[in-house]
Structure 1
Amino acid sequence: MPISRPELLQAFDSLLQPERFKDYGPNGLQVEGKKEIARIASGVTASRALIDAAIGARADALFVHHGLFWRGQDGRVTGWMKQRLQRLLAHDINLFAYHLPLDAHPELGNNAQLGKRLDWVADARFGEQDLGCVARARYSDAQALAQHVEQVLGRRATLVSPGDQAITRVAWCTGGAQGYFEAAIVAGADAFVTGEISEPQAHLAREMGVAFIAAGHHATERYGAPAVAAQVAAQFGLDHVFIDIDNPA
């Protein structure tokens, strides 16, 4: 049976607790669609391709990590923004988006789900708003760790390795968390895994003796949205489909 839009919003908010976070954009319902929801589509980013796929899947709601609205962006509804909004509104699809709350959930969030797939169990947190995770690990060296990450995620990773020392403690934070590298070093990590790398991190890795692995922003954040949407859908007896729009970034 369908549930109402406010019921679904309350379920997402209760699970992810967005009020706890200082974020870069609005969490929760970003675009209002039909009042009754029977089918949820989930994905990483509210791109035009994902919206079109959700329309094809006859979804009443779309649940994503990267929504449409961000702090400091141009507020005019033109170009790509018009095209995305036009599709959502024309098909009366609700858009729910949760950014940092989806990263941080201890069981269903992006960091927890990535750790689960890589067989890492976090025993500490670090970084801004405690988003980063640290766990015990056992790898002969950073290359072996990078190979494990590549095998699980199914894509090449960028590795900056300062040497061939064993990895016994790994830190990770999904997406564009390269700025957390220094905090990961302070937290005692031998290696840090995230989605992206910027120019300063290569130098820091070599100078501090801590390996840095950039495994892809999209690749590291594929798992939280479907985990949350599937749990909420099961709670209310709704249909759910995860739609993965490939992204090389």
Structure 2
Amino acid sequence: MIHIPVVDLFAGPGGLGEGFSSYKDQTGNKVFDIALSIEKDPYAHRTLELRSFFRKFPEGEAPDKYYEYIRKKSLTRSVKQQHKLRSELFDRYPDEARQARQEAWHAELGKSKELFNRIDSRIDTITGNPLTTCWGVIGGPPCQAYSVIGRSRNKGKIGYSSESDERTYLYQQYLRVIARHKPDFFIMENVRGMLSAKLNGKSLFQKILEDLRHPGKHSVFSGNTAADLEYQIYPLATRPSAPEKSSDYIISAENYGIPKPDTGSSC
């Protein structure tokens, strides 16, 4: 079966990606494959990479050495010893370790043009596969600038303003990938406080929604080829009966005019 490739941005330890990776169709076959995940926090990335390593083995066939590593790691607080145990595990299964490293990247989005080029090249390789007829982007851009907890902490900072906080605009890195690569769908998760956050006195949530609808038009990273790119947005609230009162959102979207393939994976 052909899996639908997924690129996970601001992946954290990989919770959203785990959901996609474990989803199966009615016949019991997995539908999605995490082709690339990116996270800047070193501890979250280690979890991300380890879970990727685990998924490289057929379901139910992870080696005993993997579980032995988990047990031994839980018994030591020495970071040096934990790294040694991990190296021993990865050295024993070099092919799976190489694939995990290729999938899970430790990098900070928005910090260098070189990283942009690496990401673009990797996604071009993923989507350039003739068997790839549908693919998507998932992830949750950092939210410390407008989450309830983040705003509470920021109030205590002298001279702080959300307009000057670069974290407010990190979702634009998400836009850049969408505008450049035009995925068939994307899903962006966010946090409590997003609906009430303001930017220059206006709703940040509404701005993000509009930017996501027209990523090529609004993204500062876009090119002319993406100017007409348009997505249909589906906000999925935690309380569907009263979405306007909900505090948590998952934003789902699909590209207008998605071609429906006759064979292979389909969106």
TM-score scaled by length of structure 2: 0.24
Task: Give the structure with the larger strand fraction.
Answer: 1
- Which has the larger Rg? 2
Task: Give the structure with the larger helix fraction.
Answer: 2
TM-score scaled by length of structure 1: 0.25
